[in-house]
Amino acid sequence: MDMTARLADAVRKRRAELSLNLIQVRDRGGPRAPIMVRIERGDTEVITPEILDALDRSLEWTIGSAASTLGGGTPTPRETAEVQFAPSGVTISHGEVAALTAATFRLQQLSSDRAQDSDLVEAIEDLAQAVAPLYGQFITELLAANTHGLGSDIVVDAVAPLLAERADSELDEGAALRRWLAMPDAKRDRGEDA
């Protein structure tokens, strides 16, 4: 099987697994219906990096899965994946992100009791700034994958600190998206701001 046929087959199978029609794929940020038809027929002329990214998003694959499939690999569904930042970037498990985030929050709480030790407070804030992109990406993916609610109060409590504070948009462009994704469906449907 050539690589385009491999991608076409993977796209058809994943769309069937998710029970998505072509319009639903488009509504999830995927390619328009005519492009999807061409992809599923194995037409390489329509495949661009943007189209591959749109396939990953709409078919709930990890970042770079469509490109990997086109190159002979196998797509990875997000529900079985670890947090990824780029196809060639760092990959860590959800559990590792959660543990690192919990440890960082705990250190921040402890540092408030030891405000007199400015070096300690500064080091903990440096750690928090370094970890922020990891848990920001994790929470964004968690919320995007669970747009109809997070279910468990434990999960909601865990993400609450990330949604409560309005982050500086230059430091965390995903903050507004996370707040919007965490919003109840009715508020989103009415077009309310996060």
Give the pLDDT mean for 178-185. Answer: 57
User: How much of the chain, in percent, has pLDDT values that exceed 90?
Assistant: 16
Domain that holds residue 122: 84-189
Report the C-alpha gap between 116 and 167 in whole angstroms: 26
> What's the gap between Cα 67 and its chain centre?
17
**Do 64 and 89 fall into the same domain?**
no
**Do 172 and 89 fall into the same domain?**
yes
Q: Take residue 114 and report the two structure tokens written for it.
A: 């030891």
In a domain, 164, yes or no: yes
Of the three residues 81, 100, 119, the one that is the final residue of a domain is: 81
SS3 179: helix
Q: Based on the structure, what is the number of domains in the chain?
A: 2
pLDDT score recorded for residue 160: 59
Asked if the model's pLDDT at residue 178 lies above 60, the reply is no
**Do 21 and 101 fall into the same domain?**
no
**Do 37 and 116 fall into the same domain?**
no
Nearest in space to 77 (alpha carbons), one of 87, 89, 63: 63
**Do 109 and 133 fall into the same domain?**
yes
**Do 102 and 122 fall into the same domain?**
yes
Amino acid found at 102: A
**Do 97 and 159 fall into the same domain?**
yes
CB proximity list for 138: less than 8 A, separation 6 or greater = 83, 94, 97, 98, 101
Give the pLDDT mean for 27-47. Answer: 89
In a domain, 194, yes or no: no
Sequence-separated contacts (24+) of 29-34 with Cβ below 8 Å: 29/54, 29/57, 29/58, 30/54, 30/55, 30/57, 30/58, 30/59, 31/55, 31/58
In a domain, 157, yes or no: yes
Of the three residues 32, 51, 81, the one that is the final residue of a domain is: 81
Q: pLDDT tens-digit profile of 57-72?
A: 899 888 888 988 988 8
Supply the pTM of this predicted model.
0.44
Q: pLDDT tens-digit profile of 89-113?
A: 556 666 777 778 778 888 888 888 8
In a domain, 88, yes or no: yes
Q: pLDDT tens-digit profile of 49-60?
A: 889 989 998 998
